[in-house]
Amino acid sequence: MSNGSTGSRNLHTSSTVGLAAVDNRPFNPTLFHRRTTQTEEEWEEWHRAKDASKVGSRVTAESMEPGAPSTISGPSGVTASVGGQENMKRLAKISRDFRSDTITMPTDAQLMAGLQASRGDDVYREDDATIALEQRIARLTGKEDAMFVISGTASNQIAIRTNLTQPPHSVLLDIRSHVHKWEAGGMAVFSQATAHAIAPANGKNLTLEDDILPNLELGEDVHIAPTRLISLENTLSGMVFPQHEIEKIAAVAEEHGIIMHLDGARIWETAAKVCEQDGKNGEDGLQEVMTNLCRPFKSVSLCMSKGLGAPIGSVLVGPKDFIARARWFKKMFGGGIRQSGGIATAADWALTNTFPKLAHTHRLAQKLSSGILALGGRLLVPTETNMVWLDLSSLNIRAPEMIKRGREMFPENPLTVGGARFVVHHQIEEKAIDDVLALLETFKQDMVREGMVSQDAGVSEINEERPQETLSRPFPKLGY
């Protein structure tokens, strides 16, 4: 370093190692950030985010109350001081993006929690934060052990491979299920398993009498791959799988020695709904609900990045010997994570701070659903959690035109929509719901002008028990 001006410039551009060398003392992130912030206001925002980043070990009853204040620093969870202007702009777009709940952004406090997490090697089982997350999820689900992995697909495929031994074997599941349609054929590749995929007779969920019993493959017929595993999904397309039906299926599975697996990618949505309905609050209430939901299954995959909004990760739970074997397959599939503490802590933070917000997303989804029906639109399936499925044909909508209008009607703050599915995530703003309804209203007015309907066309009644034959056309993408 040749002069003072160069040293000053390096305070803003050097690595932390370089900074320590410049000051000739250990790196202090607070001091570094204080020197590089532009205003006192930005410094205060950063300090609030740092305070909010402390990882809570429990969901509190107060945080689950309707209208409870957010523990995320800043009005939106991302500030210019910590996240930068570009991420603030991105969050503004996400607050009006209905394509999926996978697109939510980590908050400042969430990432700062990860920054301060342990940095041990998870393959050697030496990372404290990862082990703490696994223990917490195992406790909440009433299972003996848990394993943190990078994705729901990894969690499901490792679970199926661990549960099954060798062919011939088949897995009985819903034709719309994620493990069947949206995991790149992994079940056939990794487990050499045949899928017996069933379209539920009621159009909503598999039932024991109509779907499971007629399709179980039992006995010793050498022409048939016997059913060794039943894989269910909760929620599926935003619909809650009735627990009493799951328990009936599990009882028959146990009678025949068939393993039960749950793809609980969005099980937190089900838990939030049950907690609100039954008045269960706090970590203890959540544990009671989750344990009950997971009890019928040997293994459960729980995604941390969808509704909860962790940047990455899922957790697989089950018996100790099952998880011990699953760790072999995690490593075999290339899923070993070394310094996993940062992402595990971010996932733990999401559970504590985002789970209490899920009930609010359900209320927003109901508002959108009710508004669609008031326009005379029709829903493909009931709105039970955070997804609304619009029958586009009921309002004479073509998806490309809807996507185009969503951008053009709101040039300053475009709406981003996909097709029939609208996903309400925890960073959606309520005004975006109103704007989606305004967008759909334009298609209703097109129909009025063309004489297809009258201005006062009534509400279309939702058919909650859609017949099986309707699964062929409007349903092909349900289950993701």
Mean pLDDT of 450-469: 56
CA 158: distance to chain centroid? 19
Write out pLDDT tens, residues 75-110: 358 888 888 889 889 999 999 999 999 999 999 889
Domain boundaries, the chain: 115-355
Mean pLDDT of 397-401: 93
- What is the model's pTM? 0.85
Residue 249: predicted pLDDT: 98
Mean pLDDT of 418-435: 94
Residue 466: predicted pLDDT: 38
- Contacts of residue 351, Cβ cutoff 8 Å, sequence gap at least 6: 59, 136, 268, 304, 308
Mean pLDDT of 155-176: 95
Residue 448: predicted pLDDT: 85
Write out pLDDT tens, residues 204-257: 999 999 999 999 999 888 999 999 999 999 999 999 999 999 999 999 999 999
Tokens 């402390």 -> residue:
54
CB atoms within 10 A of CB 44: 14
Q: Are 308 and 268 in contact (CB under 8 A)?
A: yes
Distance CA 428, CA 358 (A): 11
Tokens 């007779």 -> residue:
201
Which of the four pLDDT bands, split at 50, 70 and 90, describes residue 54? low
Q: What is 115-355's CATH number?
A: 3.40.640.10
Distance CA 71, CA 477 (A): 35
Residue 79: predicted pLDDT: 82
Q: Which residue has the higher pLDDT, 114 or 245?
A: 245
Residue 185's region, left for phi above 0, alpha for psi from -120 to 50, else beta, is left
Q: What is the pLDDT of the chain when averaged over all its residues?
A: 85
Distance CA 130, CA 304 (A): 13
Q: Is the pLDDT of residue 462 over 60?
A: no
Write out pLDDT tens, residues 2-49: 444 443 333 333 333 333 333 444 444 554 455 455 566 665 666 666
Q: Is the pLDDT of residue 181 over 60?
A: yes
Mean pLDDT of 131-158: 96
Residue 102: predicted pLDDT: 92
